[in-house]
Structure 1
Amino acid sequence: MAQTHSQSRESSSSVVLVTGFGPFHHHTVNASWAAVQELQRIGVRDADSDGVTLAIREIPVAYETVQQTIPKLLNELTPRLCVHVGVSPYNSVVLEKYGKNSEYLMIDIHGKRPKGQCCVPGGPECLQTKFNLHKIVDKVSRRQSDVEFVVSSDAGRYLCDFIYYTSLHVNSTPVLFVHVTELEKPYSVHQLAEALKNIIEVLLEEMGNYAA
């Protein structure tokens, strides 16, 4: 698993964990990882703290790797927020509301499916992010009018859905999954990174409001 760090410090409450996926199928360059790398370059601000440390990770499109890696990352980094990013064929940046536990029928890059075709045996069928996504989309859209943001209730029953459910099941960190478009279909990598930046900053703002 490739690992990249925006700063050497990744052990404080200001850490935001952001993941993108590696290559799969025809996605020899996965737009999600390209956007996350560009996000690291432009950085993220938080009005309630001195700064945000981005801990970014490229995750292989493999069920077993997700099951082994994600809970460990969340427990070791104890991030303030976790945002997973994947690529979709749609022309909008999509904020996903739910992670689903079962019916993972598609094979990963190793030709495998998860045991029992589910994420967590015996776990609830559906887990939901803690964020009010329609409110988040409204705020982000006012920040960035050149990108369309929408809310979805179906993350697709592949690795995107799988990683989302895995993180939501750990239940120790606020989590969101974001689908970005393929590169230049229609958005550039910089537009996608700006979208992620704005989403994260609004999420942190909302978390600050909850804590107030």
Structure 2
Amino acid sequence: MASDKRDFVVMVTGGGAYGEYDFNTAAMIRDELPQRVDRPGKRCIRILRHPVDTPCTYDWGIEAMDEIWSGKAIAVGEEAPVEIDLALHMGMRPRYPGYCFETGARREGYKHPGEDGKYYPRELVDGNGPWAQLPEYLYSGFNIEQIISSVGDRLPGLDLKISHDAGWYFCEFEFFSSLANAKLKRNSSNVLYLHVPLHRSKDAIATGARVATEFITAAVEQIEAHQQGVRL
């Protein structure tokens, strides 16, 4: 779970333009997030924005997640890398009008080439590959159903749902790569994934930022409850 430093530090990534879309609401929402969430009597939540819109490539999904969980990634506005407690990744799901809170990701089975033409690197899982001994499916360490309930209480009237299928595309690959790196480097599963809708009006992006902020806050509250011995 979280380290002993004063702030909870969260790194947030957002998907880049892909396919027929020349925008991605995930990156737009990431850029609207507050830098801090102050909580009277509790540790502040510090939100860092990853500087790169997530591309649809396996190389990026491997290298960026390694940097993030090795404490080597430098966020927007930062001069030096920071060790994080939690990662939130976001992607755009055009065919669903609400917010999908993902529970986990598959290790392999990714059939599509990246936008750089490269396919899934089998060396990750073959022989002595770094993921060879990992389970075929990794789960977020959070009680996502409880988180959705908490977010829904704070932001009533929104379409929020739990999802057990992150799409078997680059969103899911990024999610698994982050879970894998968190597990291997930090023995952690403090990883979240949120699929956001297509709508990109000013109000829609502001709503998405509120959803993401409450997602983060609810996750941090679970970390605190765990540290206090509360069974979730």
TM-score range with shorter-chain normalisation? 0.7 to 0.9
CA distance in 2, matches of 1:40, 1:154: 29
Deviations along 1:155-187, one digit per CA (max 9) or x if unpaired, are 0111111011111112124111110111249x7
Equivalence for 2:88: 83
What is the alpha-carbon distance in structure 2 between the residues aligned to residue 30 and residue 117 of structure 1?
30
What residue is the counterpart of 1:103 in the other structure? 109
Secondary structure in 2 matching 1:59: coil
Offset of 1:15 from its aligned partner? 1.3
1:35 to 10, 29, 33: 29
Equivalence for 1:44: 37
Q: Which moved more, 1:168-177 or 1:135-144?
A: 168-177
**Residue 220 (structure 2) pairs with residue 192 (structure 1):** no
SS of residue in 2 equivalent to 1:64? helix
Once superposed, what is the RMSD of the aligned Cα atoms? 2.2
Deviations 1:41-93 (A, max 9, x none): 6x434456452222111322211011011111111133111111111121121
Query: Is 1:96–1:154's contact at 8 Å kept on the other side of the alignment?
Result: yes
Judged with a 3 Å threshold, the aligned counterparts in structure 2 of structure 1 residues 163 and 48 are, in CA distance, closer, same or farther, namely farther
Q: Which of 8, 12, 16 is equivalent to 1:22?
A: 16
Using the alignment, how far apart are the partners of 2:124 and 2:108 within structure 1? 4
Aligned to 2:68: 73
- Structure 2 Cα separation of the partners of residues 143 and 83 of structure 1: 19
Unaligned runs of at least 5 residues, structure 2 = 72-81
User: Which protein shows a greater Rg?
Assistant: 2
Q: How many residues were matched structurally? A: 200
The yes-or-no answer on 1:62 pairing with 2:53 is: no
Residues in 1 aligned to 2:70 and 2:223: alpha-carbon distance in whole angstroms = 20
What percentage of residue pairs aligned between the two structures are identical? 22
Shift of 1:23: 1.2
How far apart in 1 are the matches of 2:164 and 2:41? 31
Hey, what's the Cα distance between the residues in 2 that align with 1:46 and 1:62? Answer: 37
SS at structure 1 position matched to 2:101: strand
TM superposition score normalised by structure 1: 0.85
Amino acid in the other structure paired with 1:23 = A
Q: Is the 8 A contact 1:12 1:79 kept in 2?
A: no
- Contact kept in structure 2, 1:13 and 1:80, CA below 8 Å: no
Aligned to 1:205: 221
Kept in 2, the 8 Å contact 1:100–1:165? The answer is yes
- Is structure 2 residue 144 aligned with structure 1 residue 133? yes
